[in-house]
Structure 1
Amino acid sequence: MLAYVVLLGALSIIGVAYGHGTGSETLPPIEMDGELVTLVVSSSQEEGVVRVDIAMVRHITGEAVPNADFHITARHGQTQIFSQEFHRSDGRIIFDLTDGMEYTSPESSGGGFFGLLDPGSFKVSGPGLAGGGLYSFDVSVLSADGYEPADPPLFESAVSVPITYDDVMDGGRWGDQPMHFITYYDTLHGRGYDPETGRVFFEMPFQWDAAVIEQIETVHVEFTIPNGFGDMLASDMEAHVNGISTPPRTVAIDDYFMDVRTVHIVLPRHLLLEMLGATGGDSMEFDVGAAPRTPYSAVTSNGEYRVLVDVGPSGLAAGREAAVSFNITNVFLRSMNVEAGYTATVTRGGALLHSQSGVSNGEVTMRFPIPGDASGPALISFQDINGNDLADAALPVFIDPVPPEVPQTPAVPPWIRDTVQLWTSGDIDDGAFAAAISYLIQQDIIHMDTMPQVGGDGGPIDDWVRTTAGWWVDGLVSDAEFLAGLKYLVGRGVIAVAP
C-alpha cells in the first residue's frame, strides 16, 4: 500500500508551506461562507506510482470541508494532464499517477467496502507521469458543505517529486565519471561536464514570472561527485543561473561521505524575485564549478578534521619541483586551524614521490621534485592525524606531463646557404645577392625581429660582411651573427626592403 500523509485529522492550526519545489503545500487561506478555508496538497512516491493527496480544510481546526465539488486542471511540467470536475463527500481527493503510453482521464478506483472504508483514489496514466517532477493543480471550488460561491475561488497549487538521473560524464583527464543528479522542481536537460572549464552544466524549465515565483518556496537541485574526480573536489563551488552569479550561500557541499560528495544548489523565493529583473524566458541554465582560487578539500574518515590542499595556480607538472600547501582545520570551521601531528605522502601509481611528518598549526608547505615520467593521477594522503589512526584523508591530484619542446623555426632556413655560397665564391654578383636576400626578407623566409633604419644610399658590400657570410656557410658563426651583417646592409640601403 502506498504511504501518504493523512491531512484530515484535527490540527490545532494549519501553517503555510508553499510548494512549487517542495513535496507538500498549504496555500494561503481564503474566506468562504464566513470562515477561512485552505487547500492542502501532499505527495509521495513509490516505485511506479506518484500519489497526490488534495484536501480542502478549515484553516483553524484542520478538519476537512465535506461535500465539495472541484474543477481541477492538472499539469505535469508544462503538459496538461486533465481538466475535469470532481465531487468528494469527504472534501478530499487522491490521484495515483502512473506511466503509460498516452494520457488517460482520471478513473475512480472505488472506495473499498461500498466506499465507506476508504475514500479511494483516481488512477491517471501518461508518459513519464510516475517519474517525478513538478505537478501543478489549479483547483476551483464550485461548492462546499452546501455553499455555492457566485465566483468560485481558485487555488493554484504545485508540488515537486524528486527526479533522479544517473549519468556517466567525460571527465577529461580523469576519465569517465559517474554522476547522480536529483531535481526537486522540474526535469533536467542537457546535463554535461566541460573538461576545458571544469564546469557542470544543465538546463531546467522555469517560468520567470512574478506570480509563479510567489508560489515557490525554493528551487533545489543536487548532484554527486565521485571522490576520485579530482578537479571537482574544491572546498567552495559557485553557480551561475542564466549567466547570473548566485550568492555563495546558494551552493552547499556535503562531503562527509567517503565515496561521493553532494553539491546542493538552493534558490529561495526572494533570490528568484531579485534575479527576475535581470533574466526572463522559460528556462534556467545552470553552470556550476569550483570557485576561483579555492583549495581542494577532504574530510577525515572519522569526520573530525578537514584538510585543505593547495597545489598553486599552475598545478603540478612532471620534471618540476612541487610546492603543495595544506592546512588541517576544524571540520566545520575551516578558518580554525588545528594543532595536530600528521604524516603526509604523495604517491603516483604506487610509487612514493614524497613523504613527511610533522605538527601542523597553520599552513604547511611540502616541496619535492617530481620525476619527468610521473605524469597522471596522483594521491596526496594524510594518516594518523593527531595520533588517531582513524583520522585519515586522501585527495587525488593530477600531475601534468612535461610540456613538449616546441621546435624553433630557424631565422635563416638552411637551404639559403647554397645561395650565399654562390655569392661568397663569386658565382653571382653583389646585385643578384642583394636582390635575392631582399626578396627572402620581404617574404619573411629570412626572419628579422626588428628592421633597421635605412641611413644610406647603397654602395658596395663590405668585405667583412662577405667574410662573415662565408664563415656562416661553413658553420663557423651563428645565424645571429650572419643576420647582423644582413641588417647592416639593409641599414646602408644595399639591400632594399619595402617598409
Structure 2
Amino acid sequence: MKRFFTLTFSALVSLIVVLSAVPYSAYGDGFTMENLPPASVGNRNVQLFIKLTPPIITSDTSQPREIYLRVFDANTNQSIVHDSMFITITKHDQLLMRDLFHTHTGELTLDVTPTNTPGKWIIYGDQEPFLNAWVNQDGGPIPVLADALGEGGLYHIHIELFAIDYDNNIFTPDQAPKWDSYLSVGDISNHNVVYNSNTYNTTVISYYDKINDDFSFDPSKVQVSYSMPFDWNLTRIASQPIFVHEEIHIPKSFKDFTNTPTYTATVNGYQITGRRLIVDPYTLGDTVIAHILLNKLDIANMANQIPSGTNTMSFTLAPAKPNVVTSSSVLTDFGGWGVTLGWNPTQIAANSQNNLKLSFFDAFTQQPVNGDVNYDLKVLDSDGNIILSKTNLTAANAVDTQTLNLPGNGIYSVQINIKSIVGPTGLPDTSRIGMARGNLVIPSTVGADQGLIATQTGTSGQTGSTIQIKIPQWVKNNAGWWYHDQIDAPTFAQGIQYLIQQGIIKIPTTTQGQATLGVQIPSWVKNDAGWWSAGQIDDQTFVAGIQWLVTNGIITV
C-alpha cells in the first residue's frame, strides 16, 4: 500500500486516552547521530535517539540511506513500545517530508530512496487501524520516497511524539514532547589540482551543504578555494543551531602544499585561526586533512560584517610560513564538543611538569557539558609516534586536570578523544563522540585564542591587524650557525643580548641597573635555535622561549 503526503485520522474520539506530560521541546545539535534531551512523562524520562546513514554521501547510488529512531526511558535504557510520532524533514526551510509513523517496538527505521521532487513524498507500507500511522507490521524498515539524503548537508528533523505505550494513549497537543535535531551528512567531491605539470587529486567533504561548482586552484598563491550556498541572515542564525565543518584532503605527494605544519584559511575574507583551523597529518598516512570548524558564535560574528545580499560562504586554504602555536581551545571533528585547555604554567618548557585543565563545552551553545565526560588523552610527536597516552579519563562535571610530564623541545599534536557523556540519568551517551586535535609547542607561551581576523589590506600593504615580532636576519643566521657548530655559544649569546637591548625580550635589570649576559646555555636550546632558523617555529615562539629561560635563570643576566 502507498500513500501520497496526505494524512487522515480514523480514530474515534471516544476511544482516545489523553496523556499528559510536562510541556517539553528539545533542540539537538549533533552530526550524524545523537541522543536528544529527555522529556518528563510521568515517572519516566522519555528520550529519543536518532541516526542518519550514511555519514557521507558519495556518487554510489547503491548506498543505503536510512533514518533510525529509538524511543526509550533514559532512567533504565529500556525501549518504550507502541509509539506514534510525527516526523518532519526540512533542509534550508524546504519541506522534504512530513507524516505520522508508528513503531510497535520503540525502534523505527525509514528506508529513504532519494527523489528529485521537492515537497512531494510517497510512503509504502501498512497503516495501523487507529490513527492510520505508517507501520511495518514485520518490524522492518518503512520505505519512503522523498527528496532527502540524496546529497550532503544539514537536515532539520522535527519529531513530535503523538502517542505512547498504546495506540490510543495520545498526548494533548500542548503536552506532546517535541524534539528538533539538526544532523549533518557529508557531501564528498573530488577535484584535480595541477601544479608544475603534476596532477594531485584533492577531496572536499562538506558537512553543511553541497559545495558550488567553483572549486579552483591558484598556482601563484598555492591556494585552493571554493564556496557553498549560505544564508547569512542574522535572525535565522540566531534562531537555530548552526555548525559548519569542512574537510579538505590534500595528498602528501603535493609537497609544495603539505611540507609545512601551518596553514592559512579564510572564510569570506576572515582569517580562520586557533581552534577553527585544525590540520591532521596522521589519520590518513598519505594525506593531510585540514578541518575548518565554525560554531554559531563564529558565524554570527562574521554575519554582522558580511555585506547584505551575500548568499555564499567562501573558503580558501593555503600553506603558510611555519607559525605553530600551543592551542588554548579545540573543537571535535564530530559530535559538536569543544575543550578549553588551561596550561599551567602558561610558559611551557621542555622536560617539565604542566597541569593541564580541560573544560568541556558544547560547541553549539558555548555552555559547559551537562555531565561527566569520558575521554582519552594523547600527545604525538611530529612523526605521529605516541609519546604520552592516558586512557579512560573522566572529567567530573565536564572539568578535569591532568599532570603532564612534558617531553623535550618540539612541535607536538594533542589529541582528546571524547568517548561518552554521562548525564543526570547516569547512562553513558555515545551518540556524540569525536576527536579534538590541537598543538603543543615546546617551548612556548600560551596566549588567548585570537578569534577571527578580517584580512583587509592597510596602508602598509600587510594583511591582518596583529603585530608581528621581527628579528633581524643576522640573529637567525647566528642561531643556525650555532646549531650546526659553526659558531660558539658566546657568539650566539651576543644575538640574545641584542634582542634584550632592543627591547624585543624584556627582562628585569640587576640592582646596579645594568644587564650583563652569561653564556650558561643548556645544550637542548640548540634544537630550539635550529628549528627557529629553519622556519619551523616563528619569531614570537622563539622569543617567548628565550624570555622564559632568562626569567627562570637558565640563561643568566
Deviations 1:335-382 (A, max 9, x none): 559xxxxxxxxxxxxxxxxxxxxxx9986699xxxxxxxxxxxxxxxx
Give 2:253's match in structure 1, choosing from 217, 220, 228.
Answer: 228
Deviations 1:255-306 (A, max 9, x none): 23553211111224453454454448654222222335659xxx9996469x
Q: Percent identity?
A: 23
Which residue number corresponds to residue 134 of structure 1? 154
Deviations 1:22-64 (A, max 9, x none): 1112223333456532332112229422211123333333333
Deviations 1:88-147 (A, max 9, x none): 333432112234454642323899xx966x522222235673444333212222333314
Aligned residue type for 2:142: F
Q: What is the alpha-carbon root mean square deviation over aligned residues?
A: 4.3
Deviations 1:410-437 (A, max 9, x none): xxxxxxxxxxxxxxxxxxxxxxxxxxxx
Which residue number corresponds to residue 266 of structure 1? 293
Distance in structure 2 (CA, Å) of the matches to 1:62 and 1:274 = 40
- TM-score normalised according to structure 1 size: 0.50
Change (3 A) 1:53 1:300: closer
Cα drift, residue 19 of structure 1: 5.5
Q: Retained in 1: the 8 A contact 2:88–2:159? A: yes
- Residue 65, structure 1, aligned to residue 65, structure 2: no
Query: What secondary structure sits across from 1:159 in the alignment?
Result: strand
Alignment of 1:425-464 (within 5 A): none
Q: Retained in 2: the 8 A contact 1:21–1:220? A: no
Aligned residue type for 1:262: I
Alignment of 1:88-127 (within 5 A): 88-100=103-115, 102=117, 104-108=121-125, 119-126=139-146
Aligned residue type for 1:199: Q
Larger RCO of the pair (alpha carbons < 8 Å, separation 6+): 2
Q: Retained in 1: the 8 A contact 2:126–2:136? A: no
- Residue 237, structure 1, aligned to residue 263, structure 2: yes
Q: Retained in 2: the 8 A contact 1:18–1:24? A: no
- Residue 181, structure 1, aligned to residue 201, structure 2: no
Q: Retained in 2: the 8 A contact 1:74–1:83? A: yes
Give 2:100's match in structure 1, choosing from 85, 110, 116.
Answer: 85
Note the residue ranges of structure 2 that are not aligned, 5 or more in a row. 1-25, 56-61, 129-134, 325-379, 387-408, 414-438, 444-479, 487-557
Deviations 1:447-490 (A, max 9, x none): xxxxxxxxxxxxxxxxxxxxxxxxxxxxxxxxxxxxxxxxxxxx
Distance in structure 2 (CA, Å) of the matches to 1:334 and 1:223 = 22
Bigger mean CA offset, 134-143 vs 199-208? 199-208
Which residue number corresponds to residue 53 of structure 1? 68
Note the residue ranges of structure 1 that are not aligned, 5 or more in a row. 1-16, 306-327, 338-359, 367-499
Q: Which one has a bigger Cα radius of gyration?
A: 1
Deviations 1:183-230 (A, max 9, x none): 233212232222233322222334555776776484321111122324
Aligned residue type for 1:84: D
Distance in structure 2 (CA, Å) of the matches to 1:261 and 1:37 = 42
Query: What secondary structure sits across from 2:105 in the alignment?
Result: coil
Which residue number corresponds to residue 289 of structure 1? 318
Give 2:46's match in structure 1, choosing from 37, 44, 49.
Answer: 37
Aligned residue type for 1:122: I
- Residue 255, structure 1, aligned to residue 281, structure 2: yes
Query: What secondary structure sits across from 2:31 in the alignment?
Result: coil
Change (3 A) 1:260 1:57: same
Which residue number corresponds to residue 164 of structure 2? 144
- Residue 246, structure 1, aligned to residue 255, structure 2: no
Distance in structure 2 (CA, Å) of the matches to 1:361 and 1:33 = 76
Q: Retained in 2: the 8 A contact 1:20–1:215? A: no
